[in-house]
């Protein structure tokens, strides 16, 4: 078996084997669309490869490579646009030849979104049904979000292959460097320069291959060139919207560009400037002294570089995959003539830097898309049914972590005019799998609650566990599910809850100490029998605030969980009368500015005033570092 286009292909000419990642996206598409059939289709030379497929169990292998020109998915690949079909039998847009695959499979309705990678359509994520179907706008929006996440996964796989190639290049360069080392030892003093160049290239190839962020690239670059070249200035300018702009570096060893020196590291691509000339000409550009710089580009440009103490410079284009993405600038404080050997070394280093910058961009985009998907799965709060509601989500400080923390609130079915279900949960893990399981769990828990009207939260959580066991869903984590209902002929509310290993809710009653509701059962874990789950109940008087939260709020370094919970209780007591968004911000501040884990908070208040005056507030906070998009010169 060999790997191609992110899927597993059999070398004997048979269909590709299923791909676990693509199968997961197909299952998630089927879930959010409520469709029996979903697939991930990647475009081959003349056929579609189906690494992800849900439904159509009969003749599965025979379905793996339908003709590209005889399927609706082939139409999506050809046009690059989403394709929505309500009833294929009555749709005059398609001939029977163009929809041969769908007709053979007995599919009538279809919704497909294009998958893209580096500006090209590479496949389709779609859902289909054997009967006519009107797809809702919400379903199509979810399918589009999933297609974006699937596209990011395909791009990340391409980046991984690029990293492997970079590592192979590094190993090859290591062998070259070793040969150069032997030649230098034999040639003596004259070969010393070659030795130094080979050593520098070896370090560059090895260290830059491991750079994951733009800050890593710039920090490693300055370390690489500082000793052998002794420059006074080293920087990267990236192409964005037709201009070369300084790459943003927030590292502690890099200050801002001095006022007035910005033109030295930023210019239009068509400007008379050494950076622009290097990018347009795809070649190294140099100036050995201020006079040469002024004669070639004018006194204004020379003056801007003088503000950076640069009196001689070399500008080298950053290229990757045949396109220029930016320029590397090396500047010296004294006149400096870069000879052929030094130019060759700088050109090679710029090649490694270009690969590292592009790889950092792909990794950053993957994390950004994952966080967007996770955020899209968080629920908008409903009408509070006479209660005040507010929610807050805080991402972990580490940008490469995507968590499984979530909150939810939705009306309960039944005759009660004021009844609400509330939940918080934490799925084990910090990756795309955790975010995906989180989305499935939230949807399944809602269904379990709606399927058991009149029963308590424990019945719904038990049904969720049973469903996960039947579906082999690897549900591992904690959750708390509660029912809130207005007490008849009273301004009080009842709160009934069940706790599956989750941090206990906190109750702040007017004029009383904050209560910690400690009752709980075992956490959720595949194969773990928690025994019967139990409901617990208490009453909430007007003015009472109920706080639900995930363990990132109280499980933090330097303190015990009990100490952290007590600190949160003190803040809750002091801020119980604040507007709920302000209260949640105060509680979150107690956890510190850079949490190690995601935090989800949900606050509910029984109003002092007349019943039915709902207060609806939402607040979501995300902490994510993004790199501006790079627009290459092709």
Tens of pLDDT, residue by residue over 521-569, are 898 888 788 889 999 999 999 999 999 999 888 888 888 999 999 999 9
Is 198:180 a contact under the CB 8 Å cutoff? yes
Does residue 322 surpass a pLDDT of 70?
yes
Which of 63-67, 437-441, 555-559 has the least mean pLDDT? 63-67
Q: Which residue matches tokens 């966080």? A: 371
The pLDDT, as a whole number, for residue 397 is 52
Contact 623, 394 (CB under 8 A): yes
Please say if the pLDDT value at position 8 is more than 60: no
Q: What pLDDT, on a 0 to 100 scale, did the predictor assign at position 210? A: 66
Task: Answer yes or no: is pLDDT of 426 > 60.
Answer: yes
Report which listed range, 131-145, 202-216, 249-263, is most confident.
131-145
Q: Does domain 381-616 have CATH number 2.60.40.10?
A: no
One-character DSSP codes across 542-556:
TT-EEEEE-GGGT--
Q: For position 537, what pLDDT does the model report?
A: 95
CATH number of 157-368: 3.30.450.40
Q: Looking at residues 570-593, what average pLDDT do you find?
A: 90
DSSP 8-state class, residue 70? G
Which is higher by pLDDT, 47 or 617?
A: 47
Average pLDDT over residues 604-614: 64
Output the pLDDT for position 15: 53
Write out pLDDT tens, residues 33-49.
Answer: 999 999 999 988 888 88
pLDDT at 37: 93
Between 387 and 254, whose confidence is greater? Answer: 387
Say how far apart CA 323 and CA 331 lie, in whole Å: 24
User: What is the token pair recorded at 180?
Assistant: 């150069």
Q: Is the pLDDT of residue 82 over 90?
A: yes
Report pLDDT for 469.
85
Question: Which token pair is 30?
Answer: 């089927």
CA dihedral in degrees (562, 568, 573, 578; nearest 10)? -170
- The string of pLDDT tens digits covering residues 161-199 is 888 888 888 888 888 878 877 676 665 544 454 555 566
* pLDDT tier for residue 264 given thresholds of 50, 70 and 90: confident
Same fold, 2-135 and 157-368: yes
Could you tell me the residue ranges of all domains in the chain?
A: 2-135, 157-368, 381-616
Per residue in 486-509, pLDDT tens?
Answer: 988 888 999 999 999 999 999 999
* pLDDT for 632: 44
- As a whole number, mean pLDDT of residues 100-106 equals 84
**How many residues comprise the chain?**
634
Predicted local distance difference test score (pLDDT) of residue 58: 52
Across the chain, mean pLDDT equals: 81
Higher pLDDT, 436 or 622: 436
Tokens of 75: 């139409």
The mean pLDDT of 260-265, rounded to a whole number, is 75
Q: How does pLDDT run across 391-401, given as a tens digit for each residue?
A: 998 877 554 45
Across 607-617, average pLDDT: 48
Residue 592 has pLDDT above 50, yes or no: yes
- The span from the CA of 352 to the CA of 580, in Å, is 51
Interatomic CA distance for residues 301 and 403, integer angstroms: 48
3-state secondary structure of 503: coil
pLDDT at site 619: 35
Mean pLDDT lowest for which of 116-130, 340-354, 555-569?
340-354
* pLDDT surpassing 60 at residue 143: yes
User: Would the CA dihedral through 538, 543, 544, 549 be positive or negative?
Assistant: positive
CATH of domain 2-135: 3.30.450.40
Band (pLDDT 50/70/90 cuts) for residue 356 is confident
SS (H, E, C) 438-499: HHHHHHHHHHHHHCCCCCCHHHHHHHHHHHHHHHCCCCCEEEEEEEEEECCCCCCEEEEEEE
Q: Which of 188-202, 268-282, 432-446, 469-483 has the lowest mean pLDDT?
A: 188-202
Contact 586, 575 (CB under 8 A): yes
Task: List the one residue out of 337, 349, 332 whose CA is nearest residue 173.
Answer: 349
Range of lowest pLDDT (145-154, 320-329, 475-484)? 320-329
Q: Please give the average per-residue pLDDT across 270-277, as a whole number.
A: 92
Q: Is the pLDDT of residue 629 over 50?
A: no
Determine the pLDDT at residue 13.
47
Give percent of the chain with pLDDT exceeding 90: 37
């Amino acid at each position: 078996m060999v790997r191609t286009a992110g899927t597993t292909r059999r070398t004997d000419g048979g269909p590709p084997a299923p791909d676990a990642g693509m199968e997961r996206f197909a299952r998630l598409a089927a879930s959010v669309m409520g469709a029996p059939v979903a697939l991930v289709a990647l475009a081959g030379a003349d056929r579609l490869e189906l690494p992800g497929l849900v439904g159509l169990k009969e003749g599965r292998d025979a379905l793996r490579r339908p003709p590209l020109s005889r399927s609706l998915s082939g139409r999506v690949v050809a046009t690059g646009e989403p394709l929505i079909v309500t009833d294929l039998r009555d749709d005059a847009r398609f001939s029977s030849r163009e929809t041969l695959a769908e007709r053979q499979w007995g599919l009538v309705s279809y919704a497909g979104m294009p998958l893209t990678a580096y500006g090209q359509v590479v496949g389709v994520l779609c859902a289909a049904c054997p009967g006519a179907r009107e797809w809702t706008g919400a379903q199509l929006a979810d399918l589009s979000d999933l297609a974006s996440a699937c596209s990011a996964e395909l791009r990340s796989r391409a980046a991984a292959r690029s990293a492997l190639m970079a590592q192979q290049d590094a190993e090859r360069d290591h062998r070259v460097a070793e040969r150069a080392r032997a030649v230098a030892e034999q040639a003596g003093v004259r070969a010393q320069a070659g030795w130094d160049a080979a050593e520098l290239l070896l370090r560059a190839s090895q260290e830059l291959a491991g750079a994951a962020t733009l800050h890593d690239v710039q920090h490693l670059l300055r370390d690489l060139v500082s000793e052998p070249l002794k420059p006074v200035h080293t920087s990267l300018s990236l192409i964005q919207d037709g201009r070369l702009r300084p790459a943003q570096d927030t590292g502690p060893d890099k200050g801002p560009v001095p006022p007035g020196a910005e033109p030295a590291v930023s210019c239009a691509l068509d400007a008379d400037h050494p950076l622009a000339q290097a990018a347009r000409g795809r070649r190294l550009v140099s100036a050995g002294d201020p006079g040469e710089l002024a004669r070639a580009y004018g006194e204004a440009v020379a003056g801007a570089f003088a503000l950076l103490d640069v009196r001689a410079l070399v500008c080298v284009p950053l290229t990757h995959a045949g396109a220029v993405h930016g320029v590397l600038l090396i500047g010296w404080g004294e006149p400096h003539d870069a000879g052929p050997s030094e130019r060759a070394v700088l050109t090679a280093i710029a090649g490694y830097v270009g690969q590292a910058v592009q790889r950092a961009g792909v990794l950053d985009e993957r994390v950004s898309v994952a966080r967007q998907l996770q955020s899209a799965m968080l629920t908008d709060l409903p009408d509070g049914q006479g209660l005040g509601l507010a929610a807050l989500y805080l991402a972990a400080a580490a940008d490469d972590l995507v968590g499984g923390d979530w909150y939810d609130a939705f009306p309960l079915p039944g005759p009660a005019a004021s009844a609400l279900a509330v939940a918080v949960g934490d799925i084990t893990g910090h990756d795309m799998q955790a975010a995906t399981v989180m989305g499935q769990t939230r949807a399944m828990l809602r269904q379990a609650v709606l399927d058991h009207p009149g029963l308590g939260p424990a019945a719904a959580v038990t049904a969720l566990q049973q469903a996960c066991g039947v579906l082999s869903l690897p549900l591992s984590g904690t959750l708390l599910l509660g029912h809130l209902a207005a007490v008849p002929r009273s301004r009080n509310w009842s709160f009934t809850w069940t706790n599956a290993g989750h941090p206990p809710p906190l109750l702040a009653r007017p004029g009383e100490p904050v209560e910690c509701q400690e009752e709980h059962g075992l956490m959720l874990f595949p194969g773990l029998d928690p025994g019967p789950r139990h409901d617990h109940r208490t009453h909430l008087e007007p003015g009472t605030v109920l706080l639900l939260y995930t363990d990132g709020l109280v499980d933090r370094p330097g303190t015990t969980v009990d100490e952290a919970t007590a600190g949160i209780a003190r803040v809750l007591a002091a801020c119980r009368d604040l507007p709920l968004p302000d209260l949640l911000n105060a509680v979150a501040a107690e956890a510190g500015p850079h949490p190690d884990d995601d935090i989800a908070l949900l606050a509910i208040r029984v109003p002092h005033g007349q019943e039915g005056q709902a207060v609806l507030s939402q607040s979501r906070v995300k902490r994510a570092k993004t790199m501006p998009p790079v627009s290459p010169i092709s």
